Structure 1
Amino acid sequence: MNNSGFKFDNTYANLPEIMATKLSPVAVKKPELVILNHDLAKSLGLDFSKHSDQENAEIFSGNKLIDGSLPLAQAYCGHQFGHFVMLGDGRAILLGEHIDPKNQRWDIQLKGSGKTPYSRGGDGRAALGPMLREYIISEAIHFLNIPTTRSLAVVTTGEDVLRETKLKGAVLTRIASSHLRVGTFQYVAAKQDISALKTLVDYAIERHYPELLQAQNKAIALFKSVMKRQIELIVNWMRVSFIHGVMNTDNMSISGESIDYGPCAFMDHYDTKTVFSSIDHYGRYAYGSQPIIGQWNLARFAESLFPLLDEDEKKSEGIANDLIKEYEELFADKFHVMMKNKLGMISDEDQDKQMMSDLFKLMHKNQADYTNTFRYLINGKFPQEKLLNDPDFIIWEAEWKKRLSKNQKSEDGYQLMMKHNPLFIPRNHKVEEALSAADDGDISKFLSLCEVIKKPYTEDVNLEEFTKPAPASDRVYKTYCGT
């Protein structure tokens, strides 16, 4: 059929056979288009305007395959809440890799597209709510200037999926620079196929880190580059109060993109122990635990590369330990720079770290809203917050203003703050309102939220309702994996 501008070049399909199973999506009963991301489509060099909504629904449900696609389900492993599991795409099909007008390569994946050999007893389907959640949160993360997979379309399937209750079935079309994960490397390592592991390292470098093609030891070079990108990613999540919620190794992308938006949410009131996931009973993936888990996941990545770090196993272990030790200092440095940007601190002053620490303590003590605290420091607007009446905060704020005067130009500090402190995040209660209405057939709140998140750093007096944290009655908030 007319491929709407898709130009497929399916390199993943040429990797060793153990890494994927070639199969098509399972057809659905009655696909209907819910949302199509025309701006994203345009940036990819795609045009669906010549198709009817019904034709587009057939494409994005997987009922009609696009010319040049070569569908497959990828194999990978994962440490899920610390436990090692053989996994794979249990409800997703990679249609292929699209080359955009800038010659960039993008995976086109259908999520919720039916059973695969990796479904492990699951039905391979997805529900409308979780797919719309991934759409809105991934788009929000993109507009917050954080690397992420993106969402091209959501369709309903005309079929119910059975979870705790009956839910509307749906398929999400996800765009990613690749779906290579730490778990992909763990899978090949677990198969003890060193030849395939070398091929995978070469493939990851060629696809994401071409500057490493001439590296003396490609595995070491790849690890270092992935570690840097993961540190930048997690620091950015923390900058905007994002909690991924399920940082298993199969959800850590080699490209450094945020991937798999299951029980994810944004923290309102500052508390490093904040957890929204219904299954994270011990806070493994809490807001403040994300840096530690990032390091833990990277240690598992290093283990999967052991055979390529050195021929001697003991030397490999030593190399891996040395590499992973670099994480803490690298992370601390990046986090410090991020916080300086949030607080408008341009020069380096001895008092900076202490000032940051003191602010966090005051925010925690007063249950201050994370996003609005930093915006208050820019614009002085912060309605009904206990923090503002705390004498210690009043002293802190006066000291902070003195600190800003040490910048060459105080307005430069404010400009810096405006770039790094969003005004709008997808507030959890607003997301739930939009998803609940969409489930009842009203997409208007969802579309409104999609518009708000496109300009997260721009003040707009007409959108003040989107800046307020959840009312006290909504603060006990739980999210679910959606599987």
Structure 2
Amino acid sequence: MRPDATLEPPTPDDAVDGASLSGLVFDNVWSRFPADFFTRVAPTPRRGTRLLDVSPLAARRLGLDAETLDAKTLTGVMSGERLLPGMDPLAQKYTGHQFGTYNPALGDGRGLLLGEAVTPQGPVDLHLKGAGQTPYSRFGDGQAVLRSSLREYLAGEAMAGLRIPTTLALAVAVNDERVMRERVEPGATLLRLAESHVRFGHFEWLYQQQRVEDLERLMHHVIDRHRPDLAQTEAPLEALYQDVVTRTAELIARWQAYGFVHAVMNTDNMSILGLTLDYGPYAFMDRFDSRLTPNHTDTTGRYAFDQQPGVALWNLTVLGQSLTPLIGVERLREILDTYEPTLQAAYAILMRARLGLESEQEDDGELIDDWLTLMERASADFHRSFRALSETDIQGGLSLEAEIPDAALGDWLARYRERLSRESRGEAERLAAMRRVNPVYVLRTHLAQQVIEAAEDGDAGPLRTFRELLSSPFERRDGMDAWAEAPAASAPPVCLSCSS
């Protein structure tokens, strides 16, 4: 894995002393692209907008302090009634393959890129979801509901806490709108942050339109603004595609290692920077099921957990095809061939760390695979099983029967003990390292639902508590055991809609 994609926690960005939301500086590069790359649209004001929570992590990404953020100004932005100086709201145009079928009629249908902020850590898009209808809404109402907004807000915090590349949200707000989905729900807005919102689908659109000059322009935009080191390489465009392949492979490795199912891996939901983008009917694994498909519209299981590595490769192939006017087919194939070994290597690093294996040895892959087979056969809880390994002295006897009631567990533990005997570090050091990568607190669907129901009843306290735990998920907190609970054994498998 790349040096910046290790398991060690990132150093948090320091807030800028005295910085204010209104003092953000914007350099809106996207608004200087050809006119049909976007449509300028003013946000639709939302009645009775009330802030529910502000993310300290996302605020720091902007060089701000969540504790001193001007709530009135932020509420004005979240309501669609106010723009910060320098903002220039627009809806981006793109296309993409949805469940394997090309759809030319895509774009920002309920969100607006308000502006591109300049920060000491690099550019940050401010994107308001639930901002109203755009020319790309198709038959949508341009609204966001509280349920899906809270799920996306928490997902960004959870993924960042697990060191998985992701978009974040600065804040989430509820309003007095009543929005029809499966039922009538409270309206909401979400202010999403991302280094860039450029998607695979942007390149597909230009390729399908046979706009080679604009395709090249977009690639150089990504290089110049987000990957400037690639400009110094012998073939910058090839280097960019390699960068996308590598980062996507490492992203998928992290999803697989932490039991995350995106559930809508359409090409328009794939980030050119390798970020987790567009949270819908996602789920973190509870009882381990390699075929988990939490999206009830995915009747074929195209985006099931065990299909994600292959789907990402398919999406990268589609992206590669879009780049054929600029990069030779054989070179694209060579780059694409690095995907699987990169993913496998990254996944092995992550899984060895989760099992407390510091060195790399030949039989590790079989040990890891058999551990997962045990969990699946016993319908064991994915996260609790890993955490149990992190909290018991293996030499003093390990009791995992409560988590994995399988007769083969003893044989696996004997092999695990033998493998650990070949490690150089001591037991205490190993367990401490394992607890740094095996979370106590996970964004489980039933816990998110509790937060949603409380917020719909006017109580944002559980939201703030869960957000704080998810942003630092590895340290057990006193009095917080309820937030580490798995769902009841009788609970049905997670199954959500695309509006979730």
Do both share a fold (TM > 0.5)? yes
Report the CA distance between 1:466 and its aligned residue: 2.4
Q: Equivalent residues in 2 for 1:8-407 (5 A)? A: 8-46=26-64, 53-86=71-104, 87-100=106-119, 102-310=120-328, 316=329, 318-380=330-392, 385-386=401-402, 388-407=404-423
* TM-score (norm: length of structure 2): 0.90
**Most deviating of 8-17 and 53-62:** 53-62
Deviations 1:443-467 (A, max 9, x none): 2222221122122111235322222
CA distance in 1, matches of 2:401, 2:226: 45
**Most deviating of 271-280 and 211-220:** 211-220
* TM-score (norm: length of structure 1): 0.93
CA distance in 2, matches of 1:45, 1:335: 33
Deviations 1:4-36 (A, max 9, x none): 321111112112222111222122233222222
CA contact (8 A) 1:154 1:171 kept: yes
CA distance in 2, matches of 1:38, 1:324: 38
Deviations 1:101-128 (A, max 9, x none): x241100000010011111121111111
The equivalent of 2:445 in structure 1 is 428
CA contact (8 A) 2:47 2:79 kept: no
CA distance in 2, matches of 1:299, 1:48: 41
- 1:82 maps to amino acid: G
CA distance in 2, matches of 1:460, 1:64: 39
CA distance in 2, matches of 1:135, 1:261: 9
C-alpha RMSD of matched pairs (Å): 2.1
Report the CA distance between 1:276 and its aligned residue: 1.0
Q: 1:462 aligns with which of 459, 471, 479?
A: 479
Secondary structure of 1:110's aligned partner: strand
Report the CA distance between 1:349 and its aligned residue: 2.1
The equivalent of 1:451 in structure 2 is 468
CA contact (8 A) 1:149 1:259 kept: yes
CA distance in 2, matches of 1:392, 1:50: 55
Deviations 1:249-301 (A, max 9, x none): 11110111111111111101111101111211111111111111110110011
- 1:396 maps to amino acid: W
Deviations 1:212-246 (A, max 9, x none): 10333333211110111111111111222111111
- 1:334 maps to amino acid: A
CA contact (8 A) 2:375 2:404 kept: no
Gap runs ≥5 in structure 1: 311-315
CA distance in 2, matches of 1:72, 1:406: 58
Aligned length: 475
Secondary structure of 1:306's aligned partner: coil
Gap runs ≥5 in structure 2: 1-19
CA contact (8 A) 1:5 1:46 kept: no
- 1:93 maps to amino acid: L
Report the CA distance between 1:394 and its aligned residue: 1.3
Report the CA distance between 1:50 and its aligned residue: 7.0
Change (3 A) 1:442 1:325: same
**Most deviating of 156-165 and 353-362:** 156-165
Q: 1:408 and 2:431 equivalent?
A: no
Report the CA distance between 1:438 and its aligned residue: 1.2
Report the CA distance between 1:386 and its aligned residue: 4.9
* Percentage of pairs with the same residue: 36
Change (3 A) 1:50 1:430: closer
